[in-house]
Structure 1
Amino acid sequence: DYFKKEAITWAWEFVTKVMGMPEDRLYVSIYEEDDEAFEIWNREVGLALERIFRMGKEDNFWEHGIGPCGPCSEIYFDRGPERGCGKPDCTVGCDCDRYIEFWNLVFTQFNRQEDGTYTKLEKKNIDTGMGLERLAVIMQDVDSIFEVDTIRRILDHVCKKAGVVYGRGDEDVSIRVITDHIRGTVMMVSDGILPSNEGRGYVLRRLLRRAARHGRLLGIKGPFLYDVAKVAIRESCEAYPELAEKEEYICKVIKTEEERFAATIDQGIAILNAMIAELKMENKDVLPGNMAFKLHDTYGFPLDLTREIAGEAGLTVDEEGFMAEMAEQKNKARMALKNREMSAWGRDLAAGIDKDLKTEFVGYESYSSESRILHIILDDEQVNSAQQGEEVTIILDRTPFYAESGGQVADTGYITGKDGKVRVNGCVKVGEGLYLHTGVVEEGIIEKDAHVTASIDVERRLAIARNHTVTHLLHKALRNVLGDHVTQAGSLVAPDRLRFDFRHFEAMTKEEIKRVEDEVNARILDDLKVTVREMSVDEANRLGAMALFEEKYGDLVRVVQAGDYSMELCGGTHLKSTAQAGLFKIVSEGGVAAGVRRIEALTGKGALEYYDQVEEKLESIAAALRTSPQESLKRVETLNSELKAALKEIEQLKAKLASSSFDEVLGGAVEVSGMKIATGRFDQLDMDSLRNTCENLRSRIGSGVVVLASSLGDKASFVAMATKDAVERGIHCGNIVKEAAKAAGGGGGGRPDMAQAGGKDTSKIDEALRLAVEAAKAQVK
């Protein structure tokens, strides 16, 4: 009910009266052909002719391909000649910083046609946008958004962490990147987004990791962004109070991602350095695009960091090859998504069946229906009949069979006619509501147009309903225990189990799992009534119903509510009350992707069977321990104590056996220039025992080095220790064991006075000890 005149006059009123900007520092631009806007600015507002600038389509006409478009008018503020370029023709539209555009009024009044012509829109509208931070720059009279008070305090904190001063050098870019990215990061995490490799989560991860990398460039060691986030929260929490409420959670998410990236980037640098070394050996000076892409895709290694490190080593990066690999990956992802969205049956049936044909679903109210067979498909062909033993797909006019969707598996059951019977093993929905029942003809013959009874496996349906209703209870309990950031990332609802994937940044503790399990079981015992209602999306949102962000909903949605506890949009089948679920048991919790956890759980009979199995195992364990289940723990503790005592006695006996061999080892030492080199083999000793034995021998050798080896299982262990004077004469134990281990197919190293190593080939131990002696001889000065 308003257009160009009102939009212009209201904008002028706001900037001059509300914001108090001096009129003599304001200018406007309009589209060169928009005489109407000119008249309003000049006659209605009273702006002088020299303050109105007509500009071409590139600057003052908003359009994006075909469709609604129109001219626009922009408002500029003159920040003074001291911020200008100094040229005599400097004015509105100049690239310098003097005239800053901060408000754009778009008058959407035309519709661009495919042939490039324009027609007038029947209903015109206003699209207006003002830069809040630009406005702050003007009102506070600073040079950039990074000097606006709230942002400057974040920037100053970054400088303090890095020990640098802003505005004095090359560090400024990194300082600004961190300051900018942490603000966006805080808002995204507050809104429930978690770092991941897809969608919004990937954007967040890139922001965090880019900021973390720039922290490294500034010399900041260890996680620091979570600390900067506290300042960003403090500066914004007055306008966004939820930031203060979620501060601990926001900082925890950021710190966790920082720690992950630290491990990733260290690993990536090691791999990149290995790649560079290999290329240099081959006299190559270009890092292939596929190598750069592997670092990016597998380790989250930024291309610009790869470019920088490669450049320091005198190499360039094949960025075209990198982009080609990136494009191929995106294409594969698009094709995979396309294949998931299209069912094979849907493609086969599209040509032969009316696209408007739908199956009436009656499965919410009934377990069976009287139906008519509309189509029979056998071997991808439509047929009039099928007989016993043949695998078929049947389309009915109505069905009680729930088609697999929303994580819930399909119903199974039977389609029975007077001449035949089909066992239905699955059901999928294609198009706008065509249900395809897949199965096998078990008896007789079925024919097209025949009247049949479609009936589902009721017991199986109820088992599925238990798991589905409890999935909703689980979702709510997770949000109560872990926080409102928890959202569903996927699910499987089957008759024998439920699987629930959810967004959360760390593994659940045993205490958290127990709290969730207890809360769900408490709601089951509360016997909450489960109600299902259909309503508009807007009404569901007003009531606070949970919805999946990625899901597409129609105008009318189905809302499933369990008492006053949980409310979700859902098209699945459910219980009448929570008590019908009987029992809930979490059997596992683990990670499936970055920022995504998975719970596997059981309900009803499945949970009871689980406890039966646990009880059976306890009884078997008790029988093996020759005690009762109640006394099993005490018996295990006793046996464990006895085992520890026996192992300790064994180690003592080993030490005595080794001690008896000391004289033999020392007596067989080789003497070089007054220094002894002793070697010995003590099989079946672990590394700790081997070190202790070597220490004892070193204390007795006087002046020299001791090298010992042990074969335990299929591994060889080596330890070398030298006296202080031996080290002064050139002995280096790290280099000695490295040579020895190399002979046994292993590696290792350490300090000059003590080192250890391992090997894979125990048959080479004697040869390894011989090489150790030679290495030691060569070191003696």
Structure 2
Amino acid sequence: MQTAEIRRRWLDYFGERGHTVVPSASLVSDDPTLLFTVAGMVPFIPYLTGLVPAPYPRATSVQKCIRTLDIEEVGKTPRHGTFFQMNGNFSFGDYFKKEAIEFAWELLTGSEQDGFYGFSPDDLWVTIYEDDDDAFRFWKDTAGLPDERIQRLGMDTNYWSTGLPGPAGPCSEIFFDRGPAYGVDGGPATDDDRYVEIWNLVFMQYLRGEGRGKNDFEILGELPRKNIDTGMGLERVAFLKQGVENMYEIDQVRPVLDRAAELSGKRYGADHDDDVRMRVIADHVRSSLMLMADGVTPSNEGRGYILRRLLRRSVRAMRLLGVDTATFPELFPASRDAMKAAYPEVDTDYARIGRLAYGEEETFLKTLESGTSILDVAVEKVRTSGGKKLEGDVAFQLHDTFGFPIDLTMEMAEEAGLTVDRSAFETLMAQQRNRAKADARAKKTLLADLSVYSDFRAKGETVFTGYEFLETDGTVLGIIVGGESVQRARVGDIADVILTETSLYAESGGQEADAGRIVGEGFELEVLDVQRPVKGLVSHKVEVTKGEVGVGDAATSIVDAAWRRGATQAHSATHIIHAALREVLGPQAHQAGSYNKAGYMRLDFNWNQALSPATRTEIEELSNNAIRNNLEVETKVMPLTEAKALGAMALFGEKYGETVRVVEIGGPWSRELCAGTHVSRSSEIGLINVVSEASVGSSNRRIESLVGMDAFRDLATERAIVSRLSTELKTPREQLPERIAGLMASLKEAEKKIAAYQSAALGERIPGLADAAVRRGGLTSVIENLGTVASADDVRTLSLGVRGRLGNEPAIVAFFADVAEKPIVIVATNDGARALGVRAGSMVSIAAGVLGGGGGGKDDIAQGGGTSVAAIPEAADALRAALPA
């Protein structure tokens, strides 16, 4: 049974039983505590927890998920996958435990001919929470399983909660027994790979209180509305139904594995280590494909870093298979073709995805060359010192800074006859993970604070009127101060105020929140920020500047008209520049993020090379022509499917409901899904002045522009500068570039002559400095402060000249100087001095330490520096004191 067929049967089964079929949400999660959608229930959390009223009593979905906590286990077990699909059915206060068990058993064990999955009941085991007698009874009544195949397990495995106060409850898991060839007998309680978990049923029936972790907490009572959250692993069922050994061999994954085998000349199944590498490649390529299809781009932080890590692990695995050249142009199309039946967007958007993937691979292959050079230096240093082990901090630096995989470091060190201090490396990695966990805990606490909004959201949604009005009358629905819901806020308080209606735009879609005020009888609030903490609710962060405000008070939201005008200009300018980019560069120049506020906008777009001055000018002219042509800006509200059919562009990573707002500028020329505020005609933008275009990653560029009066003021400033230059240089404006180029050339020539005169003058000092040499204990020394010198090269030349002047007698020359307001020291020794144990590198270390810096070099000449010119006399004394008596 193909994976797509398993998916279809699931949705058909539950759809026919009254469940609303909900499309998969993006892999990019709305939850601020999560980088990705990590489970099928994540999009439904607001409904399951009661934070937002559920729009339907029961639902079903096949949700795309990404988990990276077990990334090191990928390829080693039959079930660990980074990207996976979770089939889920959900009840929001509708049916409960009995019906959930009946649904699961019927779909699993019903015949394939009748549209079910056809598992034999003899192969299935069930676990329940140790005290859940209801579940035990329902399983007996529904499935007729013998008692020994319904195992009671503890809270660690069969009790669900978020780890925070809120919904909780027992769960029941269904396992498939692969048979004695795969492990020991005894059921899921043995925790053996023989038993594969395929379905988990969570019965949310209790309210848990505060506690420590997953096991230690108090049950406060039953929930008023009990919920069902179940999940069946699509890939796990697929590998069982397709009769293969693991999830990497199913129809949606195996083609990449086979292509990796062909490219490497290895045979899958011949060597355990190579098999693991091929499975890693198959998993990571598919996971990367799906992440990029949802708008994630490689970067050095957040989601982009996870994607980059997956891509680089794939490159590393191919290298360990013996392939050093680019392979993504072969591997990614294989994954695309395997996944496009279920997710057509991976095919329709493949030009962008492929360009991102291929560019990242090319960059990392160059990084591997750089990392290899650094590793070679470190290895040589260890070998020179007689050591046998590469320090853990070197391995960690290669991993953390260059993305150099530890396995690759260990492999290359072993080739050089060295080991790697893996223990020290793991310690540093653990410290990094702890820092990340601490950050995640802080974010989790932030999510917990969102529970304060649940009572407000239960009363309805905030109505946004700002598209039509700058002022709106409403009522204060709630007030939050210091994370606590309160009845009143007074002068000086910083509070979050929720209104029933507001004209103030909440930050979203790249547009900054509106500036403005909220006023009422006896109070005035300055609006500091506007956000949507939960779906359907607008919260205004305010400072109470007059009187006091209370829950239930009438309140009028007032938008700063000048700010809104600038914001609409900037947001519409963003759409215009996006359309101009695509017209000039082609449709692959797709928006990857934006930010706009009054007078300013920036837009990130998928492109991997700098724009030429001519191209940048063309984009700017095209944008301003669109303004001059006074194009109509029209907004329409329509179903998402209709908007997509119309060709409206969506921003990758943004979430859209079933009904969307489409903004058109000049009809189809610019047609995008957008909830922001816009001008009514393009001429209202006034002017677009592109001020910069630069890289923000290996495959993304950023274009920035000033808009409206800010654009005019910037151009006026440039005009004033040009006018002043023209006057002072007595040169017409159009001839300024040639005039300035001539002046620069003359200046460089003068600087060369001055440098030559200075060098000659320094050379004339050699005899005098040599004559000032001090002879003590068989060693001649010249230690002097030269004062201000143009360059370190001049100091080096002078030191070598004086050393040569001193002849063959043991001698050391040490010159200090002020170069560009920074102290430097250069020490030169001859053969006689080195025979006495006086080495330049050691002397520089002593002097540089006093100067507040460091340095090094060879035994005959070395250079150092520091931070304090004033410390030069003290450093010279320290060096003299270090010479042999």
Pick the TM interval, shorter chain.
Answer: 0.5 to 0.7
- How far is the alpha carbon of 1:627 from its aligned partner? 4.5
Query: What residue number does 1:618 align with?
Result: 722
CA distance in 2, matches of 1:628, 1:426: 49
Query: What residue number does 1:646 align with?
Result: 750
1:355 pairs with 2:459: yes
Letter in 1 for 2:710: G
1:555 pairs with 2:658: yes
Moved more, 579-588 or 671-680: 671-680
Task: Tell me if structure 2 keeps the 8 A contact 1:307–1:316.
Answer: no
CA distance in 2, matches of 1:214, 1:184: 15
CA distance in 2, matches of 1:166, 1:659: 73
CA distance in 2, matches of 1:503, 1:648: 44
Task: Tell me if structure 2 keeps the 8 A contact 1:209–1:258.
Answer: no
Q: Given the alignment, which residue of 709, 722, 733 partners 2:815?
A: 709
Instruction: Give the direction of change, closer, same or farther, for the CA distance of 1:509–1:172 in structure 2 (3 Å limit).
Output: farther
CA distance in 1, matches of 2:173, 2:847: 80
Q: TM-score, normalised by structure 1?
A: 0.64
- How far is the alpha carbon of 1:504 from its aligned partner? 6.9
CA distance in 1, matches of 2:493, 2:407: 59
Task: Tell me if structure 1 keeps the 8 A contact 2:852–2:867.
Answer: yes
Instruction: Give the direction of change, closer, same or farther, for the CA distance of 1:307–1:671 in structure 2 (3 Å limit).
Output: same
For structure 1, the residue ranges without an aligned partner over 5 or more in a row are 9-30, 117-124, 272-286
- How far is the alpha carbon of 1:585 from its aligned partner? 1.4
Matches within 5 A, 1:591-740: 599-625=703-729, 627-669=731-773, 678-685=782-789, 686-703=791-808, 707-712=813-818, 714-722=821-829, 732-740=839-847
Query: What residue number does 2:573 align with?
Result: 470
| 2:677 partner SS | coil
Q: Given the alignment, which residue of 642, 659, 669 partners 1:539?
A: 642
CA distance in 2, matches of 1:367, 1:661: 77
Task: Tell me if structure 2 keeps the 8 A contact 1:528–1:577.
Answer: yes
Moved more, 253-262 or 740-749: 253-262
Q: TM-score, normalised by structure 2?
A: 0.58
Task: Tell me if structure 1 keeps the 8 A contact 2:477–2:551.
Answer: yes
Instruction: Give the direction of change, closer, same or farther, for the CA distance of 1:184–1:483 in structure 2 (3 Å limit).
Output: farther
Query: What residue number does 1:57 align with?
Result: 126
1:329 pairs with 2:439: yes
| 1:602 partner SS | strand
1:573 pairs with 2:680: no
- How far is the alpha carbon of 1:581 from its aligned partner? 2.0
Matches within 5 A, 1:175-254: 177=280, 180-182=283-285, 184-185=287-288, 188-189=291-292, 192-196=295-299, 200-211=303-314, 227-233=326-332, 235-236=334-335, 247-254=354-361
Instruction: Give the direction of change, closer, same or farther, for the CA distance of 1:95–1:372 in structure 2 (3 Å limit).
Output: closer
Instruction: Give the direction of change, closer, same or farther, for the CA distance of 1:720–1:465 in structure 2 (3 Å limit).
Output: same
1:746 pairs with 2:853: yes
Instruction: Give the direction of change, closer, same or farther, for the CA distance of 1:775–1:315 in structure 2 (3 Å limit).
Output: same
- How far is the alpha carbon of 1:35 from its aligned partner? 10
Task: Tell me if structure 2 keeps the 8 A contact 1:208–1:258.
Answer: no
Query: CA RMSD for the aligned pairs?
Result: 6.8
Instruction: Give the direction of change, closer, same or farther, for the CA distance of 1:747–1:100 in structure 2 (3 Å limit).
Output: closer
| 1:683 partner SS | strand
- How far is the alpha carbon of 1:540 from its aligned partner? 1.8
Letter in 2 for 1:655: S
Task: Tell me if structure 2 keeps the 8 A contact 1:619–1:628.
Answer: no
- How far is the alpha carbon of 1:433 from its aligned partner? 6.6
Moved more, 405-414 or 447-456: 447-456
Letter in 1 for 2:125: G
CA distance in 2, matches of 1:136, 1:701: 86
Aligned residues: 688
Instruction: Give the direction of change, closer, same or farther, for the CA distance of 1:58–1:373 in structure 2 (3 Å limit).
Output: closer
For structure 2, the residue ranges without an aligned partner over 5 or more in a row are 11-101, 129-142, 151-157, 161-167, 207-221, 223-230, 341-346, 379-391, 412-418
CA distance in 2, matches of 1:210, 1:238: 22
- How far is the alpha carbon of 1:238 from its aligned partner? 6.0
> Deviation per CA, 1:328-375, whole angstroms, max 9, x where unpaired?
321211334566x699xx79xx78x993486572x4345678x68899
CA distance in 2, matches of 1:425, 1:722: 70
| 2:513 partner SS | coil
CA distance in 1, matches of 2:478, 2:250: 70
Task: Tell me if structure 2 keeps the 8 A contact 1:590–1:598.
Answer: yes
CA distance in 1, matches of 2:699, 2:446: 22
Instruction: Give the direction of change, closer, same or farther, for the CA distance of 1:739–1:178 in structure 2 (3 Å limit).
Output: farther
Instruction: Give the direction of change, closer, same or farther, for the CA distance of 1:268–1:335 in structure 2 (3 Å limit).
Output: farther
| 1:657 partner SS | helix
Q: Higher RCO, 1 or 2 (CA under 8 Å, sep at least 6)?
A: 2
- How far is the alpha carbon of 1:584 from its aligned partner? 0.9
> Deviation per CA, 1:683-730, whole angstroms, max 9, x where unpaired?
322201112223434554443655241321543222234567877897
CA distance in 1, matches of 2:545, 2:107: 75
Task: Tell me if structure 2 keeps the 8 A contact 1:723–1:753.
Answer: yes
- How far is the alpha carbon of 1:731 from its aligned partner? 6.4
CA distance in 2, matches of 1:34, 1:508: 59
CA distance in 1, matches of 2:195, 2:464: 61
1:154 pairs with 2:260: yes
- How far is the alpha carbon of 1:616 from its aligned partner? 1.4
Identity of aligned residues (%): 26
Instruction: Give the direction of change, closer, same or farther, for the CA distance of 1:689–1:529 in structure 2 (3 Å limit).
Output: same
- How far is the alpha carbon of 1:475 from its aligned partner? 3.4
| 1:56 partner SS | strand
Matches within 5 A, 1:437-452: none
- How far is the alpha carbon of 1:247 from its aligned partner? 4.2
1:582 pairs with 2:686: yes
Task: Tell me if structure 2 keeps the 8 A contact 1:684–1:710.
Answer: no
CA distance in 2, matches of 1:682, 1:522: 62
- How far is the alpha carbon of 1:254 from its aligned partner? 3.4
Instruction: Give the direction of change, closer, same or farther, for the CA distance of 1:656–1:602 in structure 2 (3 Å limit).
Output: closer
CA distance in 2, matches of 1:230, 1:714: 52
Query: What residue number does 1:284 align with?
Result: none
> Deviation per CA, 1:202-249, whole angstroms, max 9, x where unpaired?
431332354566689x599xxx88713234246557667665786444
Instruction: Give the direction of change, closer, same or farther, for the CA distance of 1:34–1:593 in structure 2 (3 Å limit).
Output: closer
| 1:227 partner SS | coil
Task: Tell me if structure 1 keeps the 8 A contact 2:662–2:674.
Answer: yes
Query: What residue number does 1:24 align with?
Result: none
Letter in 2 for 1:667: D
CA distance in 1, matches of 2:881, 2:494: 76
Instruction: Give the direction of change, closer, same or farther, for the CA distance of 1:173–1:71 in structure 2 (3 Å limit).
Output: closer
Task: Tell me if structure 2 keeps the 8 A contact 1:739–1:772.
Answer: yes
Letter in 2 for 1:720: V
Task: Tell me if structure 2 keeps the 8 A contact 1:192–1:486.
Answer: no
- How far is the alpha carbon of 1:500 from its aligned partner? 4.2
Letter in 2 for 1:521: N
> Deviation per CA, 1:559-583, whole angstroms, max 9, x where unpaired?
1112212222222322233233232
- How far is the alpha carbon of 1:518 from its aligned partner? 3.8
Instruction: Give the direction of change, closer, same or farther, for the CA distance of 1:194–1:265 in structure 2 (3 Å limit).
Output: farther
